[in-house]
Structure 1
Amino acid sequence: MLLNDLNVGQVVISKSGRDKDRLFFIIKIINEEYVLIADGDYRKLDKAKLKKVKHLMKYKYASEDIRNKISNEEYINDAFLRYELDRLKSKL
């Protein structure tokens, strides 16, 4: 998966590990090999998971609200992440 295909706020699913088959948001892009992911439930924002890009499958959906809040350094809580994931699950 190419890094330029990934964006902050994009929905991804874990392909391996204990969190396999779970949906997450990309919170931060570390480098071309790693990203930080969180879902507000299993993985909270304050303990976001460092995950290899090759272990993720991306979806075409992304949350503009999350992307804008992170880029503007606004406060985001775990409940907001859970709400956005529930909202986007209906589109998947």
Structure 2
Amino acid sequence: MDSTSDITIGQVVKSRAGRDKGRVFLVLEILDDKHVLVVDGDLRKLDKPKKKKVKHLTVYNTVLTELKDKLDNNIKINNAYIRRLLEPFNKSF
């Protein structure tokens, strides 16, 4: 499960290692087979996403297709939107 074939843009992930351990993020971009860019709209904003190794992430089955659609169609998104998408996950995980 260390390959990004399991990960898509808009996927909900949780950090397993590092200073941000336990935080919930959204996958913003897939860089290569080992790295992704993640954002949470709070600590990691859209203009400064965090590069994470896939092996340091717990990958959830939830994919927020709404985010993927907006990115695919170049619709502007902001940090408040990311925070709003992640709100239910911060409570449940």
Is 1:22 matched up with 2:23? yes
CA distance in 2, matches of 1:17, 1:90: 21
Please show how residues 70-89 of structure 1 align to structure 2 within 5 Å: 70-89=71-90
CA distance in 1, matches of 2:89, 2:68: 14
Deviation (angstroms), 1:49: 0.3
Question: In 2, are the aligned partners of 1:61 and 1:88 still within 8 Å (CA)?
Answer: no
Q: What is the one-letter code of the residue matched to 2:6? A: D
TM-score, normalised to structure 1's length?
0.92
Among all aligned residue pairs of Structure 1 and Structure 2, give the percentage whose two residues are the same amino acid: 41
Count how many residue pairs are aligned between Structure 1 and Structure 2.
Answer: 92
Question: In 1, are the aligned partners of 2:3 and 2:34 still within 8 Å (CA)?
Answer: no
Question: In 2, are the aligned partners of 1:14 and 1:23 still within 8 Å (CA)?
Answer: yes
Is 1:46 matched up with 2:47? yes
Instruction: Describe the shift of the 1:91–1:19 C-alpha distance in structure 2 as closer, same or farther (beyond 3 A).
Output: closer
Deviation (angstroms), 1:2: 2.4
Alignment partner, residue 62 of structure 2:
61
Q: Where does the alignment leave 5 or more consecutive residues of structure 2 unmatched?
A: none
